[in-house]
Structure 1
Amino acid sequence: MGEVDKIPIWLDCDPGHDDAFAILLSAYHPSLNLLGITTVHGNSSLPHTTHNALSLLTAIGRPNTPVYPGSASGLVRPAVHAPAIHGESGLDGTSLLPTPTTTHATEPFVESMAKALLSTPVGTAWLIATGALTNVALLFQQHPEVASHIKGLSLMGGAIGGGFTPAVMGKVDDKSRIGNWSAWAEFNILVDPEAAAALFSNPILNKKMVMIPLDVTHLVLATEEVQSLLLHGKGGMEKAGVLVDGKVGEGKSTLRKMLVELLLFFAKTYRDVFGIEEGPPLHDPLAVAVVLDGISEAEIPFYDFEEGKEGARERYDVHVVTEGSHDEALNGAETGRTVVKLLPKGEDGVKIPRGLDVKRFWGILEECLQRADAVNATRGVV
């Protein structure tokens, strides 16, 4: 498949353990053409998320992918970070992250995003957001024409609850919740709810948006079996697990070992904070994977209908609660909550899948690791 035939994508992210896998999938899926990356405040500070993006691109053999530092805080709110989940650096848990071999771009990030997306044929490009939505909101605020030009906006964010999926959402202080940062809200939406509200209320954009909430990402847990697949590759699953004397074994490549070390750190924080024992949910790459939904029978099916109602496509209106402060949200306010309303049949709105082919997802992610290993081998990195 040539570059012309690939789906052009731009990734806006805050790496982040799960963002690492979103970058891998974006860079190495044969149907995707990664135009560039913007970084944003979120899992850690902007200097950290920018460094992490550059380091991850070096690790996977794609150091020449342009990276643009974006917003260091929300549209109107101060930045909030997640050291309890991702560590101070945003990517704690491994010593194998390489020193970046390139530096970030210096051009203005909004203009760079707009230029790259508008250079693609109309109705082909996807913008994918896996962090706070500040950069994305600024893009459409300053360049509203991009909304009509792109094919879609896919974002990882929000939480619905009420049995939207059978996923286990986790508990804090032995209390069930639908959110991860507060009882009601998911982190990416809560840290800049004004940015999220602007996107969901955009009458052009909200008809071509896909939202991947916690209700979906918590269906995709990086279990011990998955960790073994990623470390050893297909055909290596019969090897004795992941740990040797309490540490990650050598596996098939340094890259694989690094990613599994990141997963194990992520697993521990999810176990300690949310009581989820099976493995950590891998949120962010699902916002990339959903772009592939339906492009061929070989890709990753997502199900945008209630179980047992195949063919009954669902679309939603999404309202973001902006009232209240971050501190008030931690004390029970609904700040950052995504309230969804099912639209009448046939009406356009936000697509929110209820599930996906999880086994197929992990298989494709491992195939991307194979491609990264092959590229690294040509660079003398094993």
Structure 2
Amino acid sequence: MADTRIPVWLDCDPGHDDTFAILLAAYHPSLRILGISTVFGNASLEKTTQNATSILTAINKSSIPIYVGASHALFRPTMHAPTDIHGESGLDGTELLPPPQVPANTTIPAIDAAAAALKAESPGTAWVVATGAFTNAAALFLKYPELVGHVAGLSLMGGAVGGGFTPAVLGSVDGVPRIGNWTPFAEFNVLADPEAAAMLFGNAALAAKTTLIPLDVSHLVLTTREVQDLFLYGRDGPREGRGKSTLRVMLVELLMYFAKTYSEVFGITEGPPLHDPLAVAAILTGIGADRGEVAFYDSMPGGTGERERFEVKVNTEGTYEEARAGARTGQTTARLLPPGEEGVRIPRGLDIPAFWRILEECVSRADEANAAAGAGATLEN
């Protein structure tokens, strides 16, 4: 029988929220990970690669190959990692992350491995998902332009629209509201390599296949205490005699650390937004509720219901230092296109309860896999 799961190449920089992106892609029954490439971002490339291999060990998916990608932007020096959010390791907050069972592949360049894996899939079936700096994704389509027509789509987490695009609170620093999360105007993934982002959005054929999850969408999905309890205990809640798995405790410890830094830095106290798994969930739209669909809404609430598409541009002027000093380097702008014209898909929202339910189901599957492998130790309630 033919494998009907959606093939996915995941590019990431783990990262607390990347952990959940990997888990969702690895355990959703309608997805099949072809491979993972790492990129600089939430920590150095060495650390994000170490984190990715450790996460796969934690969820009993060490068979998924990991390849080492870019250590800095296409045309810029390395940018300082956001240690005030993710800590020095990029995954601070838990002692339960296991040492990797299988190291990353260092013999094949990440974009070459991605290209080979994507080309091996039938045309129009495979997705590229990028949840860190867009450097690897841009380099992939620059070196292998034929992939633009071959892939089903590109799903990105990054950028910020602002202007009331959604009702999400984007946060403030020192009492000053902002659009971006790294500067007042720029989201981290785009600012990390604005030229890479501009290349992806500037390719008309690729833009027509691109979904963008900006902060305006990810900040709708806050990991509240209720959600943390869901991940800790499962849908049935705490029960006597039922231990919390090591994996569940690890995930919640990561979320608690993430919540603390988001509260301290951005003043968002309800819980941290879980950005990156949304870029994975976005490719599940349209597969059907019986296959684990997460509905994303592509039109203005209360409007005509007509599908929206956007032209996205990126400000590439200025250095990282100038951006931190107030320049608009890395700012994304989205222009609504006329009806029927193709462009970047930027959802206005999603079915948030379904997203949490499906993500918890993936945690349960990982628990079962760990238990079957003898790695599913539990901790007392």
Distance apart, 1:3 and its partner CA: 6.6
Once superposed, which parts of structure 1, at least 4 consecutive aligned residues long, lie more than 4 Å away?
Answer: none
Contact 1:128 1:288 in 2 (8 A): yes
User: Closer, same or farther in 2 for the Cα pair 1:373/1:176, shift >3 Å?
Assistant: same
Distance 1:173 1:112 in 2: 44
**Matched residue SS, 1:194:** helix
Residues 1-382 of structure 1: pairs in structure 2 closer than 5 A: 4-80=3-79, 81-105=81-105, 106-236=107-237, 252-298=244-290, 299-309=293-303, 311-382=305-376
Matching residue's letter, 2:93? G
Q: CA separation in 2, counterparts of 1:7 and 1:104?
A: 23
Residue identity matched to 1:89: S
> Letter of the aligned partner of 1:37 in structure 2?
I
One-letter identity of the residue aligned with 1:332: G
Q: Deviations over 1:310-347 (max 9, x none)?
A: 63100000000000111111111110001110000010
- Report the more deviating stretch, 210-219 or 304-313: 304-313
Letter of the aligned partner of 1:313 in structure 2? R
* Equivalent position amino acid for 1:361 in 2: F
Contact 1:125 1:150 in 2 (8 A): yes
CA distance in 2, matches of 1:52, 1:310: 44
Partner of 2:289: helix, strand, or coil? coil
Q: TM-score, normalised by structure 2?
A: 0.96
CA RMSD, 1 decimal: 1.2
Residue 26 of structure 2: SS of its match in structure 1?
Answer: helix
- Structure 1 residues 330 and 3, CA gap change in structure 2 (3 angstroms): farther
Instruction: For residue 155 of structure 2, give the secondary structure of its aligned residue in structure 1.
Output: strand
Which residue pairs with 2:379 in the alignment? none
Q: Within 2, Cα distance between the matches of 1:301 and 1:28?
A: 18
* Separation (CA, whole Å) in 1 of partners of 2:349 and 2:16: 22
Give the AA of the match of 1:338: T
Q: Which amino acid aligns with 2:360?
A: E
For 1:277 and 1:378, how far apart are their aligned partners in 2? 38
Output the amino acid matched with 2:78: A
- Distance, in Å, in 1 between the alignment partners of 2:23 and 2:244 is 17
CA distance in 1, matches of 2:2, 2:71: 33
- Per-residue CA shift, 1:116-171, capped at 9, x if unaligned? 00111000000000000111111111000011000000000000000000001000
* TM-score normalised over the length of structure 1: 0.95
Q: Deviations over 1:221-257 (max 9, x none)?
A: 0000000000000111689xxxxxxxxxx95210000
Kept in 2: contact 1:35–1:65 (CA 8 A): yes
Q: Which runs of 5+ in 1 are unaligned?
A: 240-249
Cα deviation for residue 297 of structure 1 reads: 2.6
Distance 1:193 1:184 in 2: 13
User: Which residue matches 1:247?
Assistant: none
Supply the distance in 1 between the matched residues of 2:261 and 2:194 (Cα, whole angstroms). Answer: 25
Q: Against the structure 1 CA distance between its residues 73 and 57, is the aligned structure 2 distance closer, same or farther, given a 3 Å change threshold?
A: same
Query: Residues 231 and 257 of structure 1 are in contact (CA less than 8 Å); yes or no, is this contact kept in structure 2?
Result: yes
**1:312 and 1:215 mapped to 2: Cα distance?**
20
Count of residue pairs the alignment pairs up:
371
Q: Distance in 2 between matches of 1:295 and 1:41?
A: 32
1:131, 1:156 within 8 Å by CA — same for their partners in 2?
yes
